Amino acid sequence: MDIVNNLISFFLLYFAIGFLFALYFAFKGAGKIDEGAKEVTLTFRLLIFPASIALWPFLLKKVMTK
């Protein structure tokens, strides 16, 4: 039972960090990686939001290197 609780805690923490990062990435960070993403619509920002949550470690690395 501890393993299940630890996994759930891990995924909740991963999601929480990803959610906060996705807020930043959708509105500011994407423009650092791609110049074309600086002036996009809200629809585009909402479309990249879920993927930003799931892939936040990789995107964070890209944003930090740019």
Position 1 scores a pLDDT of 81
Position 66 scores a pLDDT of 77
Sequence ranges of the domains in the chain? 2-65
The whole model's pTM is what? 0.88
Q: Give the sign of the dihedral formed by CA 25, CA 46, CA 53, CA 1.
A: positive
Question: pLDDT tens per residue, the chain (66 residues)?
Answer: 899 999 999 999 999 999 999 999 999 999 999 999 999 999 999 999 999 999 999 999 999 997
